């Protein structure tokens, strides 16, 4: 019997060897080495958690939270370290998305067969 977790662990190890992963690693280190960027990142992370929790609980997005988010987003857009981090993260997640599509293709093919009576 095949152990799919061995394959997944290998993919995870390979992921860490990608240039995209290394770029994200460097971008995170740059944010950590800049106190202002670190503080801003933590604020952004807390704000995103509040927003997600609000949405998960089915609550409206409060006006004051919207205003705070907009102000914070303006600050983030001016922080070069965080912008580099977000760009690196986006590039890595594109690769992860491509891998996920490849992994789930056989499942999607099964459903396509059901939908198209194949």
| pLDDT tens-digit series, residues 63-81 | 888 888 899 999 999 999 9
Cα separation, 26 vs 60, whole angstroms: 37
Cα separation, 111 vs 64, whole angstroms: 44
Distances (CA, A) of 30 to 45, 57, 68: 17, 35, 25
Q: Report helix, strand and coil shares of the chain as percent, to nearest 5.
A: 85, 0, 15
Across the chain, which has 118 residues, the per-10-residue mean pLDDT values are 91 97 98 97 91 83 83 94 97 97 94 81
Query: Which residues have C-beta within 8 Å of that of residue 82, sequence separation ≥ 6?
Result: 31, 37, 40, 41, 44, 76
Q: Which residue has the tokens 């293709």?
A: 105
34 DSSP 8-state letter: -
Report pLDDT for 109. 93
pTM over 0.75: yes
């Amino acid at each position: 019997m095949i152990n799919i977790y061995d394959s997944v662990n290998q993919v995870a190890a390979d992921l860490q060897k990608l240039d995209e992963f290394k770029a994200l690693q460097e971008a995170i280190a740059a944010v950590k080495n800049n106190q202002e960027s670190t503080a801003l990142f933590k604020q952004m992370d807390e704000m995103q958690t509040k927003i997600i929790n609000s949405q998960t609980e089915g609550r409206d997005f409060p006006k004051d939270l919207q205003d705070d988010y907009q102000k914070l987003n303006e600050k983030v857009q001016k922080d070069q370290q965080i912008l580099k981090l977000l760009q690196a993260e986006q590039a890595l997640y594109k690769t992860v998305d491509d891998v996920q599509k490849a992994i789930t293709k056989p499942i999607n093919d099964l459903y396509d067969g059901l939908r198209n009576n194949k």
